[in-house]
Structure 1
């Protein structure tokens, strides 16, 4: 059964690991990779990635991407959202700290942020405006 707008937005707001998919060009399957994301119900979604990463290059070329998040417990439920990139900006250490705090235990955040900021190179924040949603709660069937 499809989720209501409120249900899918609340589900997406939880800290799931997303699968990001983007067109990889003629003759290629979409590039699909796991990624952390940030979302507040009713707003846009943002991800942080390397400035020179393949996914940033492909997203820049395509102008859009898809995120899929799912869970299997206590019921199989998923939300897929696709839309255009509406902003690209240089990532700040505060952006990295915000998304890291969403996924890591509090005592691990600063250590990870320090390591990532020093070792992962320049990063960008890509903001996507949700346009198309697909969702389901298979446990409701």
Structure 2
């Protein structure tokens, strides 16, 4: 059963680790698909943070779009996939790293992780995508 707009946006707003897919840009390769943290608020755009010059960043820049898919198994099997164009790429800020880290980590781990990541992960960028196409379903309890 497809989710309605409110259900799919609310589900995407929950802190799931997404599978990000982007065209690998080569005829004999499948899309690059990797797990990633993301930020989303219902009705808004989605943003991710990744390394400047990383394969992921280069492929997203070249393709101009990407897809995220999130799912769960309980209490029902549910997924949302969303795809759309990149609307901006900007240098990362420590405040945004803190925001996305707080979405996924326990409060007592955020400061330590942010300090480590800010110093050790190299230059990061924030890539923002405008949701354009959605696929969703709740398969119920199996």
Q: After TM superposition, is the score higher than 0.5?
A: yes
**Offset from partner CA, 1:66-116 (integer Å, 9 cap, x none):** 000000011100000000000100000001000000000000000000000
Separation of aligned partners in 2, 1:51 and 1:122: 6
Secondary structure, in 3 states, of the residue corresponding to 2:99?
helix
1:91 matched residue in structure 2: 92
2:71–2:78 CA contact under 8 A, matched in 1: yes
Residue 27 of structure 1: how far off its partner (Å): 1.5
Secondary structure, in 3 states, of the residue corresponding to 1:7?
helix
2:101 matched residue in structure 1: 100
Residue 140 of structure 1: how far off its partner (Å): 6.9
Q: TM-score, normalised by structure 1?
A: 0.98
Residue 52 of structure 1: how far off its partner (Å): 1.6
2:19 matched residue in structure 1: 19
Taking only aligned residues, the RMSD between alpha carbons, in angstroms, comes to 1.0
Secondary structure, in 3 states, of the residue corresponding to 2:140?
helix
Gap regions ≥5 residues in structure 1: none
Across the two proteins, how many residue pairs are aligned to each other?
141
Q: TM-score, normalised by structure 2?
A: 0.98
Separation of aligned partners in 2, 1:140 and 1:17: 22
Q: How does 1:48-127 map to 2 (within 5 A)?
A: 48-127=49-128
Deviating 4+ runs (over 4 angstroms): none
Separation of aligned partners in 2, 1:93 and 1:57: 22
